[in-house]
Amino acid sequence: MRTYILALTRYSIMGFMVLYTVLSLYQLRNIGHARRRKVCLYLLILIFLINALSFLTIAVGNSDLSYFGLFIAETIGFAASVYIYMQLYPRGNLTLYIHVIMMLSVGLIVIARIDFSEAIKQFVIAVIGLVITIVVPYFMRRFRFYKNLTYIYAAAGAAALLAVLLIGNYVYGSNLNFTIGGITMQPSEFVKILFVLFIASSYYEASSFREVFITGVIAAMHVLILIASNDLGSALIFYVVFFFMTYLATGKPGYLILGAAAGAAGAILCVRVFAHVRTRFIAWRDPWSVIDGDGYQITQSLFAISGGGLFGLGLTQGTPGDIPFVDKDFIFAAICEEMGLIFAMCVMIMCIVIFINIIWIALNFDDRFYRFAAFGFAVVYIFQTFLTIGGDVRFIPLTGVTLPLVSYGGSSVLATIIMFAMVQGIYIMQQDQIAAQRRRNGAYRRRRNVYPDYGRRASGYERIPIRGEIEGGDETERYGRNAGTGYASRKEDTYGYGARPERTYGTGNGARAERLRTYSAGNRTRPERLRTYSPEQPARTERMYDRTDYPAEDAARSECRRVRPDRNADSEGWPDVTGFLSGYRNRPEEGRTRNAERRDDSDPDATDVFDQLYDSLFGDEGDSEENTGYSQGNSGRYNG
């Protein structure tokens, strides 16, 4: 029995991981909310299965049942955190949260295999981090003043790094951390966050050469302090992040080229001048010549990676302990050896998927600060991942950074989770804006009694207005993919008026298009006109107007999928299996649209608890595009 378990679980683990990767790539597509939530459920189930099988294998391989204790604690902890998160932030990006949990659990599996006590420590810190994740978005919503704290970030970051340089422990040739009261902290991880915020806030107002220069000087200061403490990997990350964010802020690709050239020159200089850099360079080019000295680590890593083959040797069947620092820097090699190349490639693709997730949040946000911040976090994450994996496989020289969320390291895990929490905060703020926008749209239309014309094709049950295809579609106007069709290509592909006008209209100048539509499709302002399109079914057109009042996520729910007439909005055509995921707890009054309620003008701007609190405390600070009449705050193509 033991033989079978040890030999066969790796195939199922690999299969589940491949499935997870495929599903997370699917999540990147243009799918509707309900489907997304359903896939999130599948992802959680897959995480559970992968964990279960892995811990089973480890427990059987080491003949020790205490691993199940960690497994149960992990399951309960992660499931609870997901549930709490969904309840508190129904507009949060559940997919990203689940990806974070996935990376954490992969890390926990491999670290548990290597050293059980380390895994327990990692788990405890992960739980602390997830608790922080719950609090951070709230604070981000509440306190909007941090865009102006440029120099405070810079000072705090520099001070932390200086502290490491001056009072840090000198560990294996570099000052990376210091110990206070028995707890070892690695501040450079947290300083990454401060650094990104610093650059984002410094470029928030303007990004002319003056700002670039000042920011550059301060960034250079950070980098030099890091080089002085011999933390070359972090120095490189800071350097690259600075140049990418400057490129984004200024819009000039020259900065990227300058950064690459200066970086290359600097690297060559460092290799010539610094002995320890030279040894790393030699260990990269020809590790076989120094196999018993500097090249030992990388050659053991290569043995491990190639020894695993495509499917791996199976957990507990390999020897990851041969590699020094396998739990920190070389965790990728351990994954390759025991779980196989396919699994490791899936982990790599997952890193890219997380990166793309964060980038798309940056893509769609209107406020520059948040866009820069999200972009900066994304580049930090992905570049650190690239340095780690590249160093492990001899693609680039070793730089001494760890794989975020997977490697063992309290500060690293905590800092990365905080980073993701801030990204979630940005996302939630974005979704709040979208929701507010839609609410305003609805209120406006009710007030002014103007409704969009869905066109003559949008009559009949099956003609459901699709996202973006708001004003109906004359065939002559083809904007976006689904425009002009008059009906949804997928039944979930709807959630509402005001969504993604840019994609629909292509040029983004929806005003003109709308004007055209107004004139080409007839007079919009008279609902009576529309009734003539389907004279035999007057009731149906009324229901179409119902759909103008889409609340944030409910749009994709059963209303839109309903293809049979159902006057009673209480009963739904579909069993609500994903109801518990939909998180509509906060706004039950918006979950159903009844004609009577709609006509009631009493509460056009129903908001949730946090929004009310915020408004009461701070009022409307006039955050850029919130007050636009147009639904431009809402390029909600990406909607986790």
Partner 1 sequence: MRDDYDDYRPTAAQRKRRREKRKMRRKILFTQWVFVALFAAMGTFICFYSLRYKRELYENSFNGRESKRLAQITKGSILAADGSVLARTVENADGTETREYPYGNVFAHVVGYSDNGASGLEYDYSVETSTSSLSLSEKAALDEKGEKYGGDSVVTTLDPVIQQAAYDAMGAYKGAIIVSDPKTGDILAMVSKPDFDPAKVAENWTTYVNEDPTVGTLLNRVTQGAYPPGSTFKIVDTIEYLKEHPDDWQNYSFDCTGDYIVDNYKIHCFHYEVHGEENLLQSFANSCNCSFGNIGLSLDKDEWNSTMSGLLFNRDLPYDYTYNQSSVHLTDDTDTQETVQVAIGQGETSMSPLHMNLITNAVANGGVLMNPRLVSAIDTAAGTTVKTYNTKEYGQLFDSWIADELCTMMRAVVTDGTATKLADAAYEAAGKTGSAEYDASDETKSHAWFTGFAPVDDPQVSVTVIMEGGGSGGEVAVPAAKAVLDAYFAKRLYIGEKIKYPDLVKWKLRHHAGQPTVWCVTLPEQADMPEILHSMYLCSRYYRENPPLIIGIAGSRDDAFELVRMIVEEAVRADGDPNVRKFLFPHGVRVRRSRSTAEREDA
Contacting residues toward partner 1, per CB under 8 A? 1-4, 7-8, 244, 247-248, 251, 291-292, 296, 299-300, 302-303, 305-310, 318-319, 322, 336, 341, 344-345, 348-349, 351-352, 355-356, 359, 362-363, 366, 371, 375, 379, 382-383, 386, 389-390, 393-395, 444, 448, 450, 502, 508, 511, 514-515, 518, 525, 624-625, 628-632
**Residue whose CB is less far from partner 1, 154 or 342:** 342
**Residue whose CB is less far from partner 1, 292 or 536:** 292
Question: Shortest gap between Cβ of 359 and partner 1 (angstroms)?
Answer: 5
**Residue whose CB is less far from partner 1, 94 or 241:** 241
**Residue whose CB is less far from partner 1, 71 or 238:** 238
Q: Which helix (H) or strand (E) element contains residue 202?
A: helix 187-205
Edge-to-edge strand list for the sheet holding 183-185:
169-171, 174-180, 183-185
- Determine the 3-state secondary structure of 451 from DSSP: coil
Give the separation between CA 566 and CA 588, rounded to whole angstroms: 20
| Tokens representing residue 12 in the block | 């199922």
**Residue whose CB is less far from partner 1, 41 or 256:** 256
Question: Shortest gap between Cβ of 280 and partner 1 (angstroms)?
Answer: 18
**Residue whose CB is less far from partner 1, 187 or 376:** 376
DSSP state of 279: H
- Determine the 3-state secondary structure of 169 from DSSP: strand
Question: Shortest gap between Cβ of 547 and partner 1 (angstroms)?
Answer: 18
**Residue whose CB is less far from partner 1, 334 or 382:** 382
b/e 34-71 (16+ beta carbons within 10 angstroms → b): bbbbbbbeebbebbbbbbbbbbbbbbbbeeeeebeebb
- State the pairing for strand pair 183-185/169-171: unpaired
**Residue whose CB is less far from partner 1, 26 or 444:** 444
The residues that bridge with 178 in the sheet, in sequence order, are 185
Question: Shortest gap between Cβ of 248 and partner 1 (angstroms)?
Answer: 5
| Tokens representing residue 350 in the block | 């997952």
Q: Which helix (H) or strand (E) element contains residue 304?
A: helix 296-308
**Closest to 218 measured CA to CA, from 173, 156, 284:** 156
Question: Shortest gap between Cβ of 358 and partner 1 (angstroms)?
Answer: 10
Half-sphere exposure of 400 (CA within 13 A, CB side): 22
Is the CB of residue 238 less than 8 Å from the CB of residue 192?
Answer: yes
Question: Shortest gap between Cβ of 117 and partner 1 (angstroms)?
Answer: 24
- Determine the 3-state secondary structure of 65 from DSSP: coil
Give the separation between CA 303 and CA 333, rounded to whole angstroms: 9
Give the separation between CA 487 and CA 493, rounded to whole angstroms: 10
Question: Shortest gap between Cβ of 389 and partner 1 (angstroms)?
Answer: 6
Question: Shortest gap between Cβ of 390 and partner 1 (angstroms)?
Answer: 6
**Residue whose CB is less far from partner 1, 245 or 560:** 245
Question: Shortest gap between Cβ of 3 and partner 1 (angstroms)?
Answer: 4
Q: What are phi and psi of 169, to 5 degrees?
A: -80, 140
